[in-house]
Homo-oligomer: A and B are copies of this chain.
Amino acid sequence: MGETKTQATSKKESSLVRDASAALTPSFLFDLDGTLVDCVYQHVLAWREALEQAGIQLAVWRIHRRIGMSGGLFVNALLRETKRDISAEEGDQLRRLHAEAYARKTKEIRPLPGALDLLRYLSEMGVPYAIATSGRMESAGPMLELLRLDPRVPVVTRDQVQFAKPNPDLFLAAAERLNVSISDCVVVGDSVWDLLAARRARALGVGLLSGELVQRGRVSQRPESNLLSGH
A residues apposed to B, CB below 8 Å: 38, 40-42, 44-45, 48-49, 52, 57-61, 64-65, 108, 110, 112-113, 209-211, 214-217, 221, 230-231
Contact = CB atoms under 8 A, between A and B. Distances in A.
A59 B113 CA distance: 6
B217 A61 contact: no
A42 B60 CA distance: 10
Copies in the assembly, this chain: 2
Contacts of A41: 41, 44-45, 60, 64
A40 B65 contact: no
B214 A61 contact: yes
A210 B59 contact: yes
Contact of A61 (B42, B48, B60, B210): B210
Contact of A59 (B38, B65, B216): B38
